[in-house]
Chains A and B, each alone.
Chain A
Amino acid sequence: MRSIISHALMGVVFIAAPAVAAAPPAIVTQGKGAALACASCHGADGAGNAQAGFPVLAQLPPAHFAKQIADFKAGTRTHPIMTPIAMAMSAEDTESSARHYASQPRPKTDAATVDPAVIARGRNLAVNGAWDRDVPPCFKCHAVDGLGVAPAFPPIAGQHAAYTVSQLQAWKTGARTNDPQKLMKTVAEKLSADEIRSVAEYLATLGNPGEGK
């Protein structure tokens, strides 16, 4: 029910939400063999963990979710914890967990404790970019509300800052390379460490008003 209201608030028609919200699949809640339960790090609701930098998974487009698992399996994306988990996930596990997390509302964001000047700098990058350096605004591809454009562009609004920072740095250094057409690499490598932090902190403040956890 909570899920239905949330989706209505966001103007999203999501017919499958009630049925899926009722019962998370076993891969999410219990795991399977070497595949730890998704929920142990990401929460059953996909809210992740701000301190640990575990990403929000709620409302990831299923195709994007599945691509990440496939990339972990193939080694084109690597992570010490996620790689072995992905290796142990079956196609069905991927499909059911992707569908489950796509149906979860974006979590309420943490209260901002960051310097407003940092947030303002981050907002400027997200909204206006820095075209003089060929840096497009985040929202040009991830939608004006930062909630993503399925299937290829995931939501970034409300993502934990530590995770966004780690990924932008990974693209910048070449540690992560599974972005289509190098679209993220080309942006991240033009950003300073300060800009990466600013934009990540700003995005983390964008939440789903009226919906908490």
Chain B
Amino acid sequence: MNRSLGYVLCALALGGIVGGCDKQPPEPKATEAVAAKPGRGEQTGFAGAPPDGVDSAKRPAAFTPPAESEIPQNEYGETVLLGKNIFVNTQQYAKAYVGNGMNCANCHLDNGRKADSAPLWAAYVLYPAYRQKTGQVDTIQSRIQGCFLYSMNGKAPALDSKEMTALVTYHYWLAKGAPTGVKLPGQGYVKVAKPALTPDLARGSKVYESNCAICHGANGEGIKARGEYAFPPLWGRDSFNWGAGMHRIDTAAGFIQANMPYGLGGTLSDQEAWDVALFMNSHERPQDPRLKGSIAQTRDKHHDENCLYGRTPEELAASIARKAEAGGDAAAGQAKPAPEQLEGLSPAISH
């Protein structure tokens, strides 16, 4: 039930976008407002309205996590530091759980501190939460397990493992003083408005070549220095798998536009961000570990219109167009689902 509602909402959102969209203003507040719109909300966390009692008009002020120098010099601090080390150098500190060339900090910049880069302080205060992806209430621990299964293409650390304890402690420490159950500004990734032109592989390839290849390699393979990845692989066997949130074109567009290239966040247009996200996610990567039966069955069960799992780019474009047409009437009226429609989903968070 929830899932089918999710598809409907998704179609509405796409319909609305097709109806016309200009480039979003660059101010974070405007982006935030878009992110808070009811929708499937796969990437930003909330599927709909903020949790009970949080009025988007009374949004909390920007949150600043404690400085690294404030990590206490005691046993607790040692665990915080271990969590940080696992987060930054997952390859070394949580080797047994990693099946690719990634580190947590590749997608959560500034060691999990940076706003609009899925910061840990914002994630921590939103759990436990119901997630469409798992169909259950996930704790922050089970959420982190998901990261290892998909983004790290590895194995989930046990809930009581040293690694899990350290990671959760690092999250908790970064969230010191943050209000619980509140979607903080900078949470998740920004939602980039669907651009005027249907995302296109050829254009995306050019954006990649001009902006990304210098660090990630001509073939998305990443670049190693002295045996270790200095820049992460974006596709191929050492990258995230087809279950990771970043395989979604909308999620990747949000991460890329706000954060890439380093120091130049916000310079790619909406169109460029979508085009290059489509291009990145049109390549081979490790299989979705949820694969059951055929790829088509797995696609239909787990993958919506925002990815190329089991679809060609042409099929995706056609599918989006069909959905837009079907949802066109409702979308034309800027249909905003009534809050009660969203209750079963909120706060629903998906990978």
Contact = CB atoms under 8 A, between A and B. Distances in A.
Interface of A: 10-12, 128-129, 131, 134-136, 140-141, 143-145, 147-150, 152-153, 180-183, 186-187, 190
Interface stretch (B43-51, B256-264, B291-299, B310-318): B256-264
B226 A131 contact: no
A180 B215 CA distance: 11
Which of B109, B225, B227, B265 has the most A CB atoms < 10 Å from its CB? B225
Interface in B205-254: 210-211, 214-215, 223, 225-227, 230-231
A153 B231 CA distance: 11
Contacts of A149: 223, 225, 230-231
The 7 closest A-B pairs by CB, nearest first: A136-B262, A131-B110, A149-B230, A143-B225, A149-B225, A186-B263, A143-B230
Nearest to A128: B68
Interface in B79-100: none
B230 A181 contact: no
Which of A11, A140, A150 has the most B CB atoms < 10 Å from its CB? A140
B113 interface: yes
Contacts of A11: 226-227
B113 to A, nearest CB: 7
Nearest to A186: B263
Contact of A183 (B210, B230, B262): B262
B59 interface: no
Given A131-B109, A131-B113, A152-B214, A181 B226 contact: no
A187 B263 contact: yes
B102 to A, nearest CB: 15
B285 interface: no
A5 to B, nearest CB: 16
B226 A143 contact: yes
Given A129-B110, A131-B110, A181-B214, A145 B263 contact: no
B263 A136 contact: yes
Interface string B289-330: 000000000000000000000000000000000000000000
Contacts of A141: 215, 230, 262
Contacts of A147: 225-226
B167 to A, nearest CB: 19
A135 B263 contact: yes
Nearest to B212: A181
Contacts of B111: 128
Nearest to B267: A186
B234 to A, nearest CB: 16
Nearest to A187: B263
Given A11-B226, A148-B225, A149-B225, A183 B231 contact: no
B155 interface: no
Contacts of A181: 210-211, 214, 261, 264
A51 B264 CA distance: 34
A158 B230 CA distance: 19
B37 interface: no
7 contacts: A131-B109, A141-B262, A143-B230, A149-B230, A152-B215, A181-B210, A181-B211
Contacts of B109: 131
A33 B326 CA distance: 75
B214 A150 contact: no
Contacts of A12: 226
Contacts of B262: 136, 140-141, 183
Which of A131, A141, A190 has the most B CB atoms < 10 Å from its CB? A131
B203 interface: no
A103 to B, nearest CB: 16
Given A11-B227, A128-B111, A134-B263, 19 more contacts: A11-B226, A129-B110, A131-B110, A131-B113, A134-B265, A143-B226, A144-B230, A147-B225, A149-B231, A150-B223, A152-B215, A180-B214, A181-B261, A181-B264, A183-B261, A183-B262, A186-B263, A187-B263, A190-B263
B114 interface: yes
Nearest to B227: A11
Contacts of B227: 11
A50 B180 CA distance: 53
A202 B331 CA distance: 57
A137 to B, nearest CB: 9
A145 B227 CA distance: 12
A68 B109 CA distance: 31
Contacts of A10: 226
A55 B110 CA distance: 30
